[in-house]
Amino acid sequence: MRTASVERNTKETRIQVAVDLDGEGRCDVATGIGFLDHMMEQLGRHGLFDLTLKAEGDLHIDFHHTTEDCGYAVGEAISQALGARKGIERFGDALIPMDETLTRVAVDLSGRPYLVWKIDFTRDKLGEFDTELFKEWFQAFAQGVGANIHVETLYGENNHHKIESAFKGLARSLKTAVAIDPRKADQIPSTKGALGGVKGVAANADEA
């Protein structure tokens, strides 16, 4: 069973996450931020993994800490569920159209976190949510899960469509990347036999 649970407690947030990578896309999410809840549900549903996420944060200040820490916690839970990452496809990518918008997302579960972010918003907020926080979530998620993630809106006008297509693209990319190839189920997906920075495998690998 590729499952994991994570708790992240700080002076700013209290977060509980549980994931099942081989689930059915069931989601139980409550962060106190409606738009973030909606995006997390997109992640689980389209990634076809079960996700439980409960968060309490200092929303009286702003949404920054809760958004960022949810990214860390969800990423860490997925990383733990992957274990040594034996047998996974490792790479995944998706092109997601949403009305006038087209977004491309590519993921490498290499163990080395890096984010390339190419989405330009024309508004500072979506409802009460600061659009700059979407990049903070993706950056924290990349760090937590240990992945190289590229996100680019190729074209589009509607800011909601841009970000929703990005989360759906991440979900579909992860669905592919975490899948097990039965032909190599006992192998680390790297010619080096190790992925950099992943617990349970060589942590000093510079390349994979």
CATH number, domain at 55? 3.30.230.40
Strands (E), 66-199: 91-98, 101-108, 114-118, 125-126, 129-130, 148-155
> What pLDDT score was predicted for residue 198?
57
pLDDT for 111 equals: 93
Identify whether 71 is part of a domain.
Answer: yes
Which residue stretches of the chain have pLDDT < 50? 200-208
- Residue 206: inside a domain: no
Residue 159 maps to a domain = yes
| 133 belongs to a structural domain | yes
The answer to whether residue 67 sits within a structural domain is yes
Write the DSSP string, 48-98.
Answer: T-EEEEEEEE-TTT-SHHHHHHHHHHHHHHHHHHHTT-TTB--EEEEEEEE
**Which pLDDT score is estimated for 187?**
80
Task: Name 17's bridge partners.
Answer: 6, 53
What are the structure tokens assigned to 144, written together? 């937590």
- The predicted structure's pLDDT at residue 102: 98
Domain presence at residue 198: no
Enclosing domain of residue 102: 3-184
Three-class SS of residue 14?
strand
Report if residue 65 sits inside a domain: yes
Q: What is the pLDDT of residue 202?
A: 34
Packing angle of the helix pair 64-82, 132-145 (nearest 10 deg): 30
Cα 8 from Cα 13, distance rounded (Å): 7
Cβ–Cβ < 8 Å for 109, 85:
yes
Task: Please tell me the predicted confidence (pLDDT) of residue 201.
Answer: 39
pLDDT for 82 equals: 95
Tell if the pTM clears 0.85, that is, is over it: yes
pLDDT tens string 146-177: 999 999 999 999 999 999 999 999 999 999 99
Coil/strand/helix, residue 184: helix
Does residue 189 form part of some domain? no
Give the span between the Cα atoms of 147 and 25, in whole angstroms. 21
Instruction: Name 7's bridge partners.
Output: 16
Q: How many distinct structural domains can be found in the chain? A: 1
pLDDT at 139: 98
